[in-house]
Amino acid sequence: MGDRITHLTKLDQTVLKWLADVQATVMKRIQQKVTVETKSNYRDLVTNIDREVEQYYVSAIRMFDPHAKILGEEGFGDQVKDMKGHVWLVDPIDGTMNFVKQKSEFATMLAYFEDGKPVMAWIMDVAQNETIHGGPDYGVYLNGQLMSKQVDSQLATGLVILSGARLLYEEYGFSEIAKSALGYRVYGSAGISFMHVLKGQANAYASYMKPWDYAAGMILSQSIGLKVGTIDGTPVNVLLSSVILTATQGTFDDIMVLEAKL
């Protein structure tokens, strides 16, 4: 076990250095001209910074872990078909619209698996220079400070964070969840949303997400004792997009009761 912790500590320190590099570069580049393009539709934005950061991660991972497979949103990694061996999931800029319009409330995320087993994850709130990092055998840290498990809570007593589009179009029972909670919030970044739940500021976060949107948040949530699952109760397959719910146990159960009534 001592060897395992040494190995995880080295991994953590290595990735934290990459994150410090990315943080400094992104906050400098954000003051210069950012090239914004659209992908699948006019609201689906990508910038030169999203691409540059992903390329940085891909070359850093290749150097550190040459046999690893990398699944990155912007496509500079590999075609990952299974979770065998070392697999990294990368979201270079999460909340690109916030990045472009607010220059705040966007994240950068990495998740690392060995033979399908969650090992370590990192979510950085880039503008705040705040990172939540850790894993199931390592503990969960906020900027290097061990985080404690939150107290359990019910849906009616706290905030839930939801995807704006799903709420607006009343999909997946999101409006029922919002009505049953004390209050609801929409942040426009999966990473920032996960951070709020990890810190105990919200009871739950639910959104339709792609693998790189939720892989890191899922690992950190499970490692701190939060419940993570798909909203329809099917097992999570981290290579597939689905509606993922992360919540305290009590709130998770309350939301699943609502979902069963839909």
Residues comprising the binding site for Mg(2+)?
73, 91, 93-94, 213
Residues sharing a CB contact under 8 Å with residue 157, sequence separation 6 or more, in sequence order: 182, 203
Q: Which does 209 bind (CB under 5 to 8 A by kind): Ca ion, ligand 2AM, none?
A: ligand 2AM
Q: Quote the distance between the C-alpha of residue 10 and its chain's center.
A: 22
91 scored as a contact of ligand 2AM (CB under 6 A):
yes
Give Cα separations from 182 to 28, 56, 185, 201, 215 (angstroms): 39, 41, 11, 12, 27
Residue ranges for the known binding site are 73, 91, 93-94, 213
Report phi then psi at 181, rounded to 5. Answer: -85, 165
96 scored as a contact of ligand 2AM (CB under 6 A):
yes
CA distance 186 to 204: 12
Question: Going residue by residue from 166 to 185, which x/- string records binding to ligand 2AM, judged by CB under 6 A?
Answer: --------------------
Q: How far is the CB of 194 from ligand 2AM (least distance, A)?
A: 10
Residues 22-81 that bind Ca ion (CB under 5 A): 73
Q: Which does 163 bind (CB under 5 to 8 A by kind): Ca ion, ligand 2AM, none?
A: ligand 2AM
One-letter identity of residue 136: P
Residues 80-109 that bind Ca ion (CB under 5 A): 91, 93-94
Question: Going residue by residue from 130 to 169, which x/- string records binding to ligand 2AM, judged by CB under 6 A?
Answer: ---------------------------------x------
State both tokens at 2.
């001592």
Position among 26, 110, 209, 245 found at the interface with ligand 2AM (CB under 6 A): 209
Question: Going residue by residue from 172 to 211, which x/- string records binding to Ca ion, judged by CB under 5 A?
Answer: ----------------------------------------
215 scored as a contact of ligand 2AM (CB under 6 A):
no
Angular region, 178: left φ>0, alpha ψ -120 to 50, beta rest: alpha
CB closest to Ca ion, residue no: 94
213 scored as a contact of Ca ion (CB under 5 A):
yes
State both tokens at 156.
């009616």
Q: Quote the distance between the C-alpha of residue 227 and its chain's center.
A: 15
Check: CB of residue 154 under 8 Å from CB of residue 250: yes
Angular region, 98: left φ>0, alpha ψ -120 to 50, beta rest: alpha
CA distance 114 to 118: 7
One-letter identity of residue 131: T
Q: How far is the CB of 40 from ligand 2AM (least distance, A)?
A: 7
> Which residue in 205, 210, 173 sits closest to 192, CA to CA?
205
Which residues bind to ligand 2AM, rule: CB under 6 A?
44, 73, 91, 94-96, 163, 188-190, 208-210, 213
In the complex, which residues of this chain contact Ca ion (CB under 5 A)? 73, 91, 93-94, 213
